[in-house]
Amino acid sequence: MSILQDLSLIFALSLVVAFVCIQIKLPPLVGYLLTGVALGPHGLGLIHGVEEVEVMAEIGVILLLFAIGLEFSFQDLKKIRREVFLGGSLQMALTLVLVFALCLPFGFSFQGALFLGLMVALSSTAIVLKVFGEKGWMESPHGRAGLAILIYQDLALVPLMLLIPYLAGRETGGLAGLGYLGLKILALGLGVYLLTRYLVPKFLYQIAKTRSRELFLLTVITLGLGVAWGTNLAGLSLGLGAFLAGLIIAESEYSTYALSNILPFRDIFSAFFFISIGMLLNLGGVWAQAPVMLGLTLLVLLVKSIGIGITGWWLKLSTKTTAILMLSLAQVGEFSFVLAKSGLEQELLDRAHYELFLGVTVLTLALTPILINFAPKFAQALHRRLHLEKSTRSEVPTQWVHGRNHLIIIGFGVTGQMLAKAAQTAGASFIILEMNAETVRREKAKGLPIHFGDSAQEEVLRHLGVTQASMMTVAISDPLSSLATIRLAKKLNPALYVIARTRFVSQQDLIYQAGADEVVTTEYEGAVEIFARVLNQLLIPQDKIEAFVAEIRADGYQMLRKPGEPTPSHLNLKSYLSGLEIRRLRVSERLITCQSLKDLELRSRYGVTVLAVGCAGQLRPNPSAQTPVCPGDELVMIGEPQQLAQAALYLCPAEEPEP
């Protein structure tokens, strides 16, 4: 009964605290930590079954790492492999070195300083990606670079957990011990390969054939916990096994379904993990060291920002992208709690340093949404501080400037490429600006007028000839850069006609307010295209479809949110076609000579209408009366079933008509 009471208290208080956190724009994770602080032995002391809560927290860690394995894709990783491996490893190494250098003078042991650097190097994947997604930044340059670094950090967690016993000196044997560990990892890798390649996909296929959601979920959980238990028996961590189990399923076609089923359990049990961490936090001790904790929090944010800034410079990211990442990834991540708890058990951290670390981590997590909101302004201020306009002026060649009334194309993705082809076909003068250095180098070699630069900088737009241009298109993934570019271009040339592209309807008004003359929304245009195709399948006349589409585009997206009334033409056409069928058949070889449709007299004899004629799968629609029909040709005809059957007997006397 005690555990039921504890669970009721935990769920009730975490619900209230998480709700309040969401209302004040803080992540729910902070609410879970505060719940643990309030209910734990150092708070109100209302939880008695602390050991049971810790067991659930352990399951939460397993499910967290299991979900990471499920979401991991080798194909996605391949696209951003440079940012993942080079950027991620450089960021973690720089943070590790900086923290290590700061800790040694304050009496930390070599192993303790190294371990603290590893913990600080991790950032919060959950919070950063959630805020980036809400802001529509995932497809922006800083969104892609941030995702790459976070992926590397998540992958690094598993080997870091393996290293903890060696840092603590609990694993002995020197090189022989490391060799034995290597053999275990190789054996584990072979087992994972066999499971991934041969056993698990076939087994999951048999389970999926039953169409039982309960059975599939039970299978996934059993597989995850079973592999984790197996790695633990082999002397490796439960977390490593959970990650490998997720990776095994991720390589099958059932990964998405498995992830959707496991996410609710992951969220519930991971909440227990953060609550259990909060229970270990001595709020009195934290309050007594508040000045020290605030100072350390600022120091951690500064150190991580410096490491990320150097990483961005090394990867040749734009200053704006680097500046946004410096604030967005400066926190200490939730998986650092996993390392911290293990480090406390292995005596790499003492209780005082552990509680201090917990307090600093909670503060950095709570500040993350605020820092991300401030990041764009920080990026602009950094531009001005470093006088980037002046440096750009010296780097931009004067031959960028084109004649009057030319087109400026900002961004050379799919849209930019199509615009360039259209301009070439029309013989119009144009110039392209792109931020991907590889794309610029490749297309420059083909003779295209393309240049590298940031469109949000005044001198770059001036050298593009924005004051003499007649039109500019903005088709870049970063909504912040789009807004800044449009505002600046309109300021320099109010008569410039600007057409901008955005992904989401919610961003459309902001881009119009920035000065765009036309905004094309991919989400909106996709809806319009589906709308038109549905009407076409419902046999609405083409002129009506075009009128509907024009009305939607004139009225804006609100038109799609209101159910329309069925038109008379729609209803009448359905009634006119009642009882009619469309059939496709192949003309028999018994029709010895080719004849025209007029000579066949299919309409006058049988009352059927030929819609298309062709051979070898190439149909010609709307044939004329003189269109020849030869043996082996295919006809598509419309008529009543009896009429079609008679026509089929005439054209295929010795064959069954094809359906």
pLDDT confidence band for 329 (50 / 70 / 90): very high
**DSSP per-residue codes, 71-131:** H--HHHHHHTHIIIIIIHHHHHHHHHHHHHHHHGGGT--HHHHHHHHHHHH---HHHHHHH
Q: What is the pLDDT of residue 199?
A: 84
| Measured distance CA(400)–CA(512) in Å, rounded | 28
| CA dist 563 → 143, 526, 554 (Å) | 36, 18, 17
Rounded Cα distance between 71 and 82, Å, is 19
pLDDT score for 439: 84
Q: What is the strand order of the sheet 618-621 is part of?
A: 581-586, 634-639, 609-615, 618-621
The pLDDT of residue 489: 92
Amino acid found at 51: E
**Secondary structure letter of residue 618 according to DSSP:** E
pLDDT at 330 over 90: yes
Q: What is the per-residue pLDDT for 291? A: 87
pTM, full prediction: 0.59
Task: Tell which wins on pLDDT, 222 or 176.
Answer: 222
Reported confidence tier of residue 139, pLDDT bands at 50, 70, 90: low
Least confident of 326-330, 368-372, 569-573, 620-624: 569-573
Higher pLDDT, 580 or 218: 218
Q: How confident is the model at residue 659 (pLDDT cuts 50, 70, 90)?
A: very low
Cβ atoms < 10 Å from Cβ of 614: 15
- pLDDT tens-digit map of 70-102: 766 556 666 677 778 888 899 999 999 999 999
- The per-residue pLDDT for 197 is 76
User: Higher confidence at residue 433 or residue 256?
Assistant: 433
Average pLDDT across the chain, whole number: 79
The runs of H, that is alpha helices, within 386-521 are 388-395, 414-426, 437-445, 458-463, 479-492, 508-514
pLDDT at 55 over 80: no
CB atoms near residue 338 (< 10 Å): 24
Q: State pLDDT tens for residues 12-21.
A: 888 888 888 8
pLDDT(574) > 60 = no
Phi, psi of 383 (to 5 degrees): -55, -50
More confident residue, 651 or 400: 651
pLDDT tens digit sequence for 366-390: 788 889 888 888 887 886 676 544 4
pLDDT tens digit sequence for 269-320: 777 777 877 776 777 777 788 888 899 999 999 999 999 999 988 988 888 8
* 139 phi, psi to nearest 5 deg: -95, 0
Residue type, 126: A
Q: What structural domains does the chain harbor?
A: 2-382 (1.20.1530.20), 391-502 (3.40.50.720), 579-651 (3.30.70.1450)
Q: Please determine, for residue 602, whether its predicted confidence score (pLDDT) is greater than 80.
A: yes
Q: In the structure, what pLDDT confidence band is assigned to residue 527 with cuts at 50, 70 and 90?
A: confident
Give 383 or 598, the one with higher predicted confidence: 598
Residue 50: is it exposed, middle or buried by C-beta count within 10 angstroms (0-12/13-18/19+)? middle
* Residue 151 pLDDT class (50, 70, 90 cuts): confident
**Residues 485-526 pLDDT 10s:** 999 999 888 888 999 988 877 788 888 888 898 888 887 777
Amino acid letter for position 455: S
Decide: 315 and 83 in contact? Cβ < 8 Å.
yes
Q: Is the predicted pLDDT of residue 356 greater than 80, yes or no?
A: yes
Distances (CA, A) of 131 to 60, 441, 498: 23, 34, 29
Task: Tell me the pLDDT tens digit for each residue of 393-421.
Answer: 444 444 444 456 789 999 998 888 998 98
Stretch 218-241: mean pLDDT: 78
The reported pLDDT for the residue numbered 97 is: 93
Q: Among residues 124, 140, 151, which one has the least CA distance to residue 335?
A: 124
- Residue 417, token pair as written in the block: 């490429």
